[in-house]
Structure 1
């Protein structure tokens, strides 16, 4: 009956080892408590063996008694060893699972950081492209405005030169008429002065003696 109980316990431990991989019932297993239980059962086994040996020496068939005792002790000891091996396997798998989870967490964190950095680089690159496009558009607009200003300045200069040239041509065309008009004004002024002087001279001329009555 006791052998059956130990076998059932070993099966439970083995099942717990399998559950460790799937994150199931292994969380309910306390490895420290199991190690303490196995150590306690070994100690109890040793005490029982010592008691049975002492009893065997009191019997007639000592060797047969000792042999039976060793067989029973070996069965229990082997069961405890299997339980301990299963427990060690559970702990090993648990440590491996923790390490794997840690590596996965670190990898996920690194991926998240890399993705965040990549998104940030993409945003910065987009901003730089937009800034370059805006600068190019502003430069093109400034060049267009400057070209228009230069064209207006050139047109204004041409119109100013044309007006000046037309004015000079009008002045040149009007020069003979202006000379003639000026001469006429001079002649008219001279004639006017002569008429004035003549009238003044006639007014100042002495009158003749009066006729006798």
Structure 2
């Protein structure tokens, strides 16, 4: 029976605190507890006054005994309200704790999700940066290879040009030597021809034939 009364009181308190959560609900419970305390003091004063009246009567004990059941019943009602109120407070605090835990978990989940998104963005940026750097490195390598190829081709062409120039110079020198030798030979031949003519011109006349006897 007592449990049923407590449940009924809890239902009433639940309706009283309906729509109130957290600090507001606790404040309402505290206000109700203060109301119970005030009612208890008022009842105590009333029953004390009745007891005082009983002491003025002839049948004191009979009068006091008639007051006691009503006092117990009234105080029991207040006690049940206090028990129900304490249970409501316990439930409210438990609900608040669960709510705070859920809010904290939700906040942590949101923070973790935000951190994951931030990390994913950073990873994407790093991958893009690495890809860009690799592309630049490949481009620079290809450019260097092209420059090296051009330099090698230029060096080869330069070597060919130098070889051709040397060959042309050697050929020109050989031609000059050939012409010089030809001129020398021609000069020698002319000199030899002149010398021969001079010898023939300066040759002594032949001796006369002896006279016949």
**What TM-score comes out, normalization by structure 1 length?**
0.66
- CA–CA distance in 1 between the matches of 2:7 and 2:165? 124
Conservation of the 8 A alpha-carbon contact between 1:31 and 1:87: yes
Equivalent residue, structure 2, for 1:16: 13
> Cα RMSD over matched residues?
3.6
Going from structure 1 to structure 2, the CA distance change for 1:156 and 1:11 (only over 3 Å counts) comes to same
Deviation of 1:54 after TM superposition, in Å, equals 3.8
Deviation of 1:137 after TM superposition, in Å, equals 1.4
- CA–CA distance in 2 between the matches of 1:10 and 1:51? 33
Conservation of the 8 A alpha-carbon contact between 1:14 and 1:86: no
Conservation of the 8 A alpha-carbon contact between 2:40 and 2:75: yes
Equivalent residue, structure 1, for 2:162: 164
- CA–CA distance in 1 between the matches of 2:16 and 2:142? 76
Query: Unaligned regions of 5+ residues in structure 2, if any?
Result: 191-213
Deviation of 1:65 after TM superposition, in Å, equals 3.8
Query: Unaligned regions of 5+ residues in structure 1, if any?
Result: 1-6, 192-213
Going from structure 1 to structure 2, the CA distance change for 1:176 and 1:59 (only over 3 Å counts) comes to closer
- CA–CA distance in 1 between the matches of 2:183 and 2:16? 133
Deviation of 1:83 after TM superposition, in Å, equals 0.6
Conservation of the 8 A alpha-carbon contact between 1:17 and 1:87: no
**What TM-score comes out, normalization by structure 2 length?**
0.66
Deviates more, 1:167-176 or 1:66-75: 167-176
Equivalent residue, structure 1, for 2:150: 152
Going from structure 1 to structure 2, the CA distance change for 1:131 and 1:25 (only over 3 Å counts) comes to closer
Residue-pair matches, total: 181
Going from structure 1 to structure 2, the CA distance change for 1:158 and 1:10 (only over 3 Å counts) comes to closer
Deviation of 1:77 after TM superposition, in Å, equals 0.9
